[in-house]
């Protein structure tokens, strides 16, 4: 019997299809995806229903408290793995395991895996029973130190887990489902009662109240740097909060993350989502593809309700994350701003135009805000940063009663743990590694200063309101683009050149006369993330490159216009097993004008091959070794294809295994298998023998005693012996060959009497 318990699940304001809730997928698809006729055998487990009425009563209470996250699901505990459940089949050259779950009346379903340890060539997918949406693949690249995995949310009430193993890895993977999360509330617009008041709201909402304000509304214009530090915390189906990246005095981008102590569970299983915000004031959806998984708790203390975490890896530069500045002086700010994810919604902003004041509550030292002038916070905003008028963090949200009342602020209070108190409770040793003793620090890398901007009136980005110049002044490029690099309108304007740019209006001198277009084509193996490549010229300059890739068994092409000369194509596999043929039949080639210049796929870590092009045409590739089996007299450049096996054999015409088609003697000639007696008159004549070995004999086939030659020794033969009895020479009945016929001949004949020869 399955047991259930209520949990606080992380709200995420988007429905997923082929991306994951907590992890990055690695390409591929479930077997026969898109084939509506395909109906595999699946072990379906029926999960218990949930008591919606009881849950609604509980939610009506907990939804009002910031110390409790917003709940949308019930966690149902199971213990199902590859050994005790599911069905195994062998399809498409791989072992396939499937396990399904029916969750009656669920709006969405997600899973927690207590065991997830996959070998290199294995894949896991999750898809709905209608086979319209899936998550995955999840591979060995998703393996975590804690050996578990949180799987994302999919719409629907019936879900299937599908696991693939190659024959070589069969039995090596470990998967165990310990939680099936029954989503009983929608992940969007849970406050349906507010829909009627949409026209009057100050800002849009997804899951949060209508009085919340998108961070990209006009009110948030001055906070575009600080917003980039704020992230939504997802804890694999158990809780959510908000937090912020925070700078340290080394200004080195160490991924320190500040949140509230009461949010702390197991940060190593958390997923931190950045830039989950609408690009506009009125939007209700935002990106969910920028996340970092896992982190280490460095220090926490209830004295200011703070926790400092170091993420498992720094957010990629493509996320454009800011590390927020701070003020540890404890000085009372003149105003304050909060940036947060209320109810797991898009990033919002709220404003306190008056001065917060110091107080204490719940055993913590806090900044007290009597009432927000614009916006509010909600459950899920906990841990979010409070900024002073200088755009520096002075605390993180602990709790409060502020909320939307319909489309307006309810006028209630909030309180934030004070950063100056956190500083003395352990934060300083990480955030001031240089022991500078400074009380304030601006953000990294922007180091934004209020009032800074371009003060040069001749610059295209002149800011007439700037009070200090920040060195950002730029001018229009030749294309008229402010701060541009001239690439938007420049290029080759010669239509006869292979690198002709039809959109270019200004020739930049890049045209390649008598150039040749070369095409790189790659078919990825099962691990495309391991593959990179480049084409370089004689000086080592890169002409084109690519990888790593995310789709397995997919074809990618790149082309470039190149001048006369020779080039190197280099392909790399980070694992060291090439792209063919152990884990997928991958290959690559360089072609031009329909000619293949380079081809390959079987290598270890790297392979470099040279090819040449001349005066507007390509060399003819092929085998230029005249001693090779596949010598090509028309080839002008050796493509590395020469081989000496297909035409190898025995060239000795006197040998048993002589091969008239062989042109290379491989040393296999032998003269024993065809040796024997070649004399057709001999008793042991062998018609298949072509070499006489001197073994012929002529006696074993003579029948002694068959005097009349009828093939049987009978009375007729006896009578012939008796008729010549006593003969001394020239005797036809001489059985024993002693030249005469006597009793000895009779006795030999009688001994063989009746014998058939």
The residues carrying an active-site annotation are 262, 305, 382
H or E stretch covering 557? strand 555-562
Contacts of 212 (CB under 8 A, 6+ apart): 202, 203, 205, 342, 345, 348, 350, 375, 376, 378, 404
Q: Cβ atoms within 10 A of the Cβ of 636, count?
A: 13
Residue 238: count of CB within 10 angstroms of its CB = 21
Q: How many C-beta atoms lie closer than 10 Å to residue 349's C-beta?
A: 25
In angstroms, the CA 123 to CA 28 distance is 9
Q: Which residues pair with 691 in a beta bridge?
A: 675
Nearest-angstrom CA–CA distance, 204 and 198: 8
* Angle at CA of residue 56, ends 54 and 61, nearest 5°: 105
Asked if residues 459 and 473 have their Cβ atoms less than 8 Å apart, the reply is yes
**Do you find a cis peptide bond into 581, omega within 30 degrees of 0?**
yes
Phi, psi angle pair for 509, to nearest 5°: 75, 15
Give the CB-side neighbour count of residue 54, counting CA atoms within 13 A: 7
E runs forming strands in 419-554: 440-441, 452-453, 468-469, 490-491, 506-507, 516-523, 531-536, 542-546
- Max CA distance (Å), the chain: 155
**CA distances from residue 49 to 42, 159, 188, 239 in whole angstroms, order as listed:** 21, 15, 22, 22
Q: Indicate left, alpha or beta for 320 from its phi (over 0: left) and psi (-120 to 50: alpha).
A: left
Of 391, 374, 393, give the one whose Cα is nearest residue 383: 393
The CA distance from 749 to 757, in Å, is: 13
Rounded to whole angstroms, the Cα distance separating 19 from 151 reads 10
Q: Partners of 214 in the beta sheet? A: 348
Terminus-to-terminus CA distance in the chain, angstroms? Answer: 87
Torsions phi, psi for 25 (to 5 deg)? -75, 165
Q: Indicate the pairing of strand 3-6 with strand 326-327.
A: unpaired
Between the CA of residue 633 and those of 46, 598, 610, 615, 629, what are the distances in Å? 70, 18, 20, 21, 12
Identify the DSSP state of 325: -
Distance CA 689, CA 563 (A): 64
CA distance 13 to 275: 13
Backbone dihedral angles phi then psi of residue 559, each to the nearest 5 degrees: -135, 160
Question: Which among 190, 219, 193, 196 is positioned nearest to 375, based on CA atoms?
Answer: 219
The C-alpha R_g of the chain, in whole angstroms, comes to 43
CA angle 7, 13, 14 (to 5 degrees): 115
Residue among 416, 418, 388, 422 at smallest CA distance from 402 = 416
Q: Which of 328, 339, 432, 325 is nearest to 383 (CA)?
A: 339
Pick from 180, 349, 347: nearest CA to 273? 347
Q: Which tokens belong to 97?
A: 């395991």
């Amino acid at each position: 019997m399955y047991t259930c318990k209520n949990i606080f699940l992380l709200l995420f304001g988007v429905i997923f299809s082929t991306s994951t809730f907590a992890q990055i997928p690695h390409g591929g698809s479930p077997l026969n995806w898109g084939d509506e006729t395909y109906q595999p055998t699946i072990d379906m487990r029926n999960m218990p229903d949930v008591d919606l009425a009881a849950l609604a009563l509980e939610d009506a209470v907990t939804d009002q408290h910031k110390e409790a996250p917003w709940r949308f699901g019930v966690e149902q505990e199971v213990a199902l793995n590859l050994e005790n459940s599911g069905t195994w089949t062998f399809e498409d050259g791989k072992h396939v395991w499937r396990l399904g779950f029916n969750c009656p009346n669920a709006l969405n379903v997600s899973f927690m895996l207590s065991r997830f340890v996959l070998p290199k060539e294995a894949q896991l997918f999750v898809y709905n029973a209608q086979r319209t949406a899936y998550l995955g693949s999840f591979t060995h690249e998703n393996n975590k130190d804690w050996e578990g995995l949180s799987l994302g949310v999919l719409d629907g009430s019936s879900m299937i887990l599908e696991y693939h193993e190659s024959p070589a890895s069969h039995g090596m993977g470990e998967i165990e489902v310990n939680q099936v999360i029954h989503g009983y509330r929608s992940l969007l617009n849970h406050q349906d009662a507010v829909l009627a008041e949409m026209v009057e709201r100050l800002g849009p909402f997804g899951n949060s109240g209508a009085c919340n304000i998108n961070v990209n509304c006009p009110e948030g214009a001055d906070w575009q740097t600080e917003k980039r530090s704020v992230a939504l915390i997802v804890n694999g189906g158990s809780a959510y909060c908000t937090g912020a990246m925070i700078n340290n005095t080394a200004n080195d981008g160490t991924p320190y993350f500040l949140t509230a102590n009461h949010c702390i569970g197991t940060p190593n299983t958390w997923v931190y989502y950045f830039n989950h915000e609408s690009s506009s004031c009125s939007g209700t959806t935002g990106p969910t593809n920028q996340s970092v998984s896992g982190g280490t708790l460095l220090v926490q203390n209830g004295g200011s309700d703070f926790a400092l975490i170091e993420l498992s890896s720094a957010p990629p530069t493509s996320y454009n994350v800011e590390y927020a500045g701070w003020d540890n002086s404890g000085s009372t700010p003149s105003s304050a701003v909060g940036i947060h994810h209320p109810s797991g919604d898009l990033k919002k902003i709220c404003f306190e135009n008056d001065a917060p004041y110091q107080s204490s509550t719940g055993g913590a030292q806090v900044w007290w805000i009597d009432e927000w002038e614009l916006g509010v916070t909600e459950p899920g905003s906990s841990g979010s940063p409070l900024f002073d008028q200088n755009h520096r963090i002075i605390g993180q949200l602990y709790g409060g009663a502020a909320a939307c009342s319909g489309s307006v602020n309810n006028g209630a209070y909030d309180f934030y743990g004070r950063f100056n108190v956190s500083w003395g409770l352990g934060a300083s040793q990480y955030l001031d590694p240089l022991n500078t003793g400074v009380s304030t620090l601006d953000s990294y890398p922007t180091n934004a200063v209020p009032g800074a901007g371009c003060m040069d009136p001749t610059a295209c980005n002149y800011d007439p309101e700037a009070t200090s110049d920040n060195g950002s002044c730029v001018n229009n490029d030749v294309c008229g683009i402010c701060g541009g690099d001239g690439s938007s309108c420049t290029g080759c304007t010669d239509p006869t050149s292979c690198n002709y740019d039809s959109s270019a209006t200004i020739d930049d001198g890049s045209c390649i006369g008598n150039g040749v277009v070369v095409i790189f084509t790659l078919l990825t193996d099962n691990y495309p993330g391991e593959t990179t490549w480049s084409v370089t010229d004689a000086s080592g300059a890169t002409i084109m490159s690519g990888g790593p890739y995310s789709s397995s068994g997919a074809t990618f092409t790149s082309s470039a216009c190149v001048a006369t000369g020779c080039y190197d194509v280099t392909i790399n596999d980070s694992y060291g097993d090439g792209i063919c043929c152990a884990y997928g039949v991958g290959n690559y080639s360089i072609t031009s004008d329909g000619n293949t210049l380079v081809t390959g796929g079987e290598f270890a870590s790297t392979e470099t091959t040279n090819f040449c092009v001349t005066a507007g045409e390509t060399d003819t590739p092929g085998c230029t070794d005249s001693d090779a089996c596949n010598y090509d007299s028309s080839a002008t450049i050796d493509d590395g294809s020469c081989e000496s096996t297909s035409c190898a054999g025995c060239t000795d015409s006197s040998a048993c295994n002589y091969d008239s088609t062989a042109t290379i003697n491989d040393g296999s000639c032998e003269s024993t298998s065809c040796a024997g007696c070649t004399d057709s008159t001999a008793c042991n004549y062998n018609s298949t023998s072509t070499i006489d070995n001197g073994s012929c004999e002529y006696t074993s086939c003579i029948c002694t005693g068959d005097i009349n030659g009828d093939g049987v020794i009978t009375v007729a033969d006896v009578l012939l012996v008796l008729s010549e009895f006593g003969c001394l020479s020239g005797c036809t009945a001489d059985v024993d060959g002693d030249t005469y016929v006597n009793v000895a001949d009779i006795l030999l004949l009688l001994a063989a009497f009746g014998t058939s020869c």
